Amino acid sequence: MARLTPTLSWAGRRMPLGRGQTAAVVLFIFVLTEALPGDAAVALAGDQPDPERIARIREAMGLDRPAAERLVDWVGGMLHGDLGTSLISGRPVTGYLTAGLGPTLLLAAGTLALLVPLSVGIGVLTARREGGPLDRTVSGLTLAVHAVPEFALGVLLATVFGLWLGWLPPTAVGAGLRTEPAVLILPVLVLASRPVCTISRLVRAGMIDAMASPYVAQARRYGLSGARIRWSHALPNALAPATQQLARTCDWLLSGVIVVEALFVIPGLGTVLVEAVAARDVPVVQGMAVVFGVVTVLVNLAADLVARRFAPRSEVAA
């Protein structure tokens, strides 16, 4: 039986699903940014814009050209590594990406460094005490935390630990992320809160199933210790769904970063995107959105490969 290869039909041709998704993302982003109200010409014209001045600015920026022509130029530039030029500052969009990438990667790395061990530890601990007071308490807390939006949780933590208690900086204003790493603690806690709830429950469910499996019973008969059985035999087999969810969490972090960076004033990609949207700087918005979209496609493809690696029998066959 032949395996079904993920493909997408586009203009009568078949191509890998990742390329088709990327093309769809690029087209969707262009259409969406074209639908934004106003443009950079209006923003540059001032509070009481003169229609003739706006028309001159639009002509100088090339905003009066047909949308199809601008789409072709934009896609052609991307194929050569050129994401365009900011309408407001005249800087290349890649410069904005380079400037904001460091803080965003630092924030994402800190989140993953907290997320992975905490999720595994909570999942293994609650599975070991299935149905007990600790399991019920942790399950209730994870459900409650998961229901709180990142923005609300961020405001709560910044108010309590930043303003009332003064233990941590409430924002990154005036602070260097590398020289003052404490400014990342609250944003990392906010970003990690919901994924920890989801992944720890997946680890717990996988551990419960693994501990009830025949190979664990056989390991007990051989006289292996409980700790060795849990960590060396049960846990690796319980991590398949959690690993796939972790890959998709990296995708989710993109949207979470935008909210959290804006809330804590971290000068990363999310903040750059928010400022570009406010200024109607379409090339910057398009460039940032394309990067986010392509990363999302790649992460989802990686998650599918992870699922196939851990569960090869689940592949679709025809």
**Ordered mean pLDDT values, 10 residues apiece, the chain (318 residues):** 39 48 76 70 64 70 74 80 81 86 86 90 86 86 87 90 87 69 88 90 86 77 75 75 76 74 85 82 84 77 66 40
Identify whether 249 is part of a domain: yes
pTM of the model: 0.73
- 3-state secondary structure at position 215: helix
Region label for 12, one of left (φ > 0), alpha (ψ between -120 and 50) or beta (otherwise): left
Return the pLDDT at 160: 92
Identify whether 56 is part of a domain: no
Report the 10 Å Cβ neighbour count for 301: 16
The pair of structure tokens assigned to 260 is 């959290």
As a whole number of angstroms, the distance between CA 97 and CA 87 comes to 15
Return the pLDDT at 214: 80
Identify whether 264 is part of a domain: yes
Identify whether 74 is part of a domain: no
First to last CA, the chain: 6
Cα 33 to chain centroid, rounded: 21
Return the pLDDT at 190: 92
- 3-state secondary structure at position 123: helix
The pair of structure tokens assigned to 247 is 């890959």
Return the pLDDT at 75: 81
Identify whether 69 is part of a domain: no
Identify whether 50 is part of a domain: no
Q: Please answer whether residues 36 and 280 qualify as being in contact, where contact means their C-beta atoms are separated by less than 8 angstroms.
A: yes
As a whole number of angstroms, the distance between CA 33 and CA 277 comes to 9
Position 2, amino acid: A
Identify whether 71 is part of a domain: no
- Return the axis-axis angle of helices 282-310 and 17-34, rounded to nearest 10°: 150
Return the pLDDT at 11: 38
Return the pLDDT at 255: 63
Q: Please answer whether residues 30 and 78 qualify as being in contact, where contact means their C-beta atoms are separated by less than 8 angstroms.
A: no
Triad 288, 148, 126: Cα angle to 5°: 110
Q: What's 237's domain CATH number?
A: 1.10.3720.10
Q: Please answer whether residues 141 and 126 qualify as being in contact, where contact means their C-beta atoms are separated by less than 8 angstroms.
A: no
Please count the structural domains in the chain. 1
Triad 148, 262, 24: Cα angle to 5°: 85
Return the pLDDT at 246: 79
Identify whether 7 is part of a domain: no
> Which domain range does residue 139 map to?
93-313
Return the pLDDT at 15: 39
Triad 49, 50, 52: Cα angle to 5°: 135
Give the CA radius of gyration of the chain: 24
